[in-house]
């Protein structure tokens, strides 16, 4: 498999975690978002929506959208399952994942931050406040949701799931803007537990070949 | 089942479509977002993230996040399936759904539009331009993705899927801000095919008990 992705992209990071957790080897193909490589002809032919990541399967299929890719990986490579077996468990895992992937992350990705500065002409401090606002509000909601569920080692249960694949990149992402993570006890405990695992370590931005940090 | 929701909320509309397509009766419980009812104690006890919709199952479980609810409905009520049977088909359906639910809709929901006007002090025209920008750009990406897939009657294949549950509310939503839908041939053909079905008609905002339009 080939993963077309960018070291700092949260959605890319999610898929790298899943691949590492499952022990699946893959070829890393960097797509430089800041240089606009995702909008160039070559990548657009692979991903018509011009978003990273794209997973190219061994059968040559191009898969987009990180949560969809991870569920596909889980359905086709069942070792180290990332989804619970029962429908209620899957509903909980999907809902917690979507709380990050649909409510927090979309507001803070590169093209939105660009629109804020280039079109709305907001200054750097206003942009950072916007950024921290959505991460903080979203993670507080996430923490309240976790509080309703039995406590496990990871975000949902005692093995890593799709939720952790979404949570860890979001925490990394928010750290870049010095987001306040106080009062997020369950959330941060899950994050810390994940970071003890080699799979999460290997998937992090600073360990990627295109890392510039 | 009980659906706590708001007539105009796109995420609520998605779940109503799924319930109607499957012919599942449900009790409609309105939550007035503009009046802030989702942030009041009663609803927050039901939905700690204070988002609509919440589906309360016959077993008394509270389920959040529209795409997660719809997949749960599909797994527990298999009549009129909303997901393909093969993993690749499911990956395509999830990716197209997420292209709407993670890339377009989050930028235009009520709390984001409020932040634009109240915190960033943008005027109505700038807000409307922001709104139309993300809908238009997102749907153009959606159209390009559709163009890579075999043509069916609906967005994916010849029966309605999760994609249509996400697409139709997004089209309704964008119409309120007079978004330009030109050049979206496959997308709008799928929308039109959906709107010929009674399930989509019954689920639309203007047919709900809390409708104010």
Which two structure tokens, joined as six digits, stand for A48?
């018509």
Identify which of B72, B101, B144 has the shortest CB distance to residue A49.
Answer: B144
User: How far does B26 lie from chain A, in Å, by closest CA?
Assistant: 19
> Which of B15, B48, B109 would you mutate first to test chain A, the one with the most A CBs within 10 A?
B48
**Which residue reads 């449900």 in tokens?**
B26
The per-residue pLDDT for B212 is 87
User: Angle CA(B89)–CA(B95)–CA(B99) in degrees, nearest 5?
Assistant: 150
Interchain CB contact of B95 with A (< 8 Å) = yes
Side-chain-side CA neighbours of B100 within 13 Å: the count stands at: 29
Counting one residue from A and one from B, how many pairs have CB atoms under 8 Å apart?
Answer: 126
Is A115 in contact with B103 (Cβ distance < 8 A)?
Answer: no
Q: Could you tell me how many residues make up chain A?
A: 213
Q: What is the pLDDT of residues A42-88, one digit of tens each?
A: 999 999 999 999 999 999 999 999 999 999 999 999 999 999 999 99
Q: Which domains does chain B have, with CATH numbers?
A: 2-80+201-207 (3.40.30.10), 87-197 (1.20.1050.10)
Neighboring chain B residues of A99 at a CB cutoff of 8 Å: 49, 64-65
Pairing outcome for strands A27-30 and A2-5: parallel
User: How far does B163 lie from chain A, in Å, by closest CA?
Assistant: 13
The per-residue pLDDT for B213 is 67
Neighboring chain A residues of B48 at a CB cutoff of 8 Å: 141, 144-145, 147-148
Interchain CB contact of B112 with A (< 8 Å) = yes
Other beta carbons within 10 Å of B33: 20
Q: What is the pLDDT of residues A126-170, one digit of tens each?
A: 999 999 999 999 999 999 999 999 999 999 999 999 999 999 999
The per-residue pLDDT for A212 is 87
Neighboring chain A residues of B67 at a CB cutoff of 8 Å: 94, 98, 102
Interchain CB contact of B166 with A (< 8 Å) = no
Neighboring chain A residues of B88 at a CB cutoff of 8 Å: 61, 72
Neighboring chain A residues of B120 at a CB cutoff of 8 Å: 120, 122, 126, 130
Q: What is the pLDDT of residues B68-80, one digit of tens each?
A: 999 999 999 999 9
Is B98 in contact with A68 (Cβ distance < 8 A)?
Answer: yes
Interchain CB contact of B114 with A (< 8 Å) = no
Is A99 in contact with B64 (Cβ distance < 8 A)?
Answer: yes
Is A48 in contact with B76 (Cβ distance < 8 A)?
Answer: no
Residue A213 pLDDT > 70? no
Is the ipTM here above 0.95? Answer: yes
Is B102 in contact with A105 (Cβ distance < 8 A)?
Answer: yes
Q: What is the pLDDT of residues A6-22, one digit of tens each?
A: 999 999 999 999 999 99
d(CA B88, CA B101) in angstroms, rounded, equals 20
Is B120 in contact with A115 (Cβ distance < 8 A)?
Answer: no
Among A89, A70, A85, A73, smallest CA distance to A168 is for: A70
User: Angle CA(A8)–CA(B103)–CA(B178) in degrees, nearest 5?
Assistant: 145
User: Angle CA(B57)–CA(B60)–CA(B66) in degrees, nearest 5?
Assistant: 40
Question: Edge-to-edge strand order for the sheet containing B2-5?
Answer: B27-30, B2-5, B54-56, B62-64
Query: What is the block-wise mean pLDDT of chain B (213 residues), using blocks of 10 residues?
Result: 97 98 98 93 94 97 98 97 98 98 96 96 97 98 97 98 98 95 98 98 97 83
**Which residue reads 């943008």 in tokens?**
B122
Identify which of A102, A120, A129 has the shortest CB distance to residue B106.
Answer: A102
Q: What percent of chain A has pLDDT over 70?
A: 100
User: How far does B206 lie from chain A, in Å, by closest CA?
Assistant: 26
- Cα A122 to chain centroid, rounded: 26
Interchain CB contact of A34 with B (< 8 Å) = no
Q: What is the pLDDT of residues A107-129, one digit of tens each?
A: 999 999 999 999 999 999 999 99
Which two structure tokens, joined as six digits, stand for A2?
């080939």
Among B65, B64, B62, B84, smallest CA distance to B74 is for: B84
User: How far does B177 lie from chain A, in Å, by closest CA?
Assistant: 19
Interchain CB contact of A65 with B (< 8 Å) = yes
Side-chain-side CA neighbours of B31 within 13 Å: the count stands at: 26
């Amino acid at each position: 498999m080939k993963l077309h992705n960018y070291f700092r992209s949260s959605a890319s990071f999610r898929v790298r975690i899943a691949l590492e957790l499952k022990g699946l080897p893959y070829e890393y193909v960097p797509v430089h978002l800041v240089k606009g490589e995702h909008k160039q002809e070559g990548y657009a032919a692979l991903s018509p929506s011009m978003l990273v990541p794209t997973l190219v399967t061994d059968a040559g299929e191009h898969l987009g959208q990180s949560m969809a890719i991870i569920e596909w990986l889980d359905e086709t490579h069942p070792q180290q399952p990332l989804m619970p077996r029962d429908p209620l468990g899957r509903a909980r895992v999907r809902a917690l994942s979507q709380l990050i992937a649909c409510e927090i992350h979309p507001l803070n990705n590169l093209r939105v931050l660009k629109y804020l500065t280039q079109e709305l002409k907001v200054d750097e401090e206003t942009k950072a406040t916007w950024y921290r606002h959505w991460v903080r509000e979203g993670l507080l909601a996430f923490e309240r949701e976790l509080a309703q569920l039995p406590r496990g080692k990871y975000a949902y249960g005692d093995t890593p799931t799709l939720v952790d694949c979404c949570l860890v990149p979001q925490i990394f992402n928010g750290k870049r803007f010095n987001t306040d993570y106080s009062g997020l006890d369950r959330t941060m405990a899950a994050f810390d537990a994940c970071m003890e695992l080699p799979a999460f370590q290997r998937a992090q931005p600073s360990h990627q070949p295109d890392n510039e940090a």
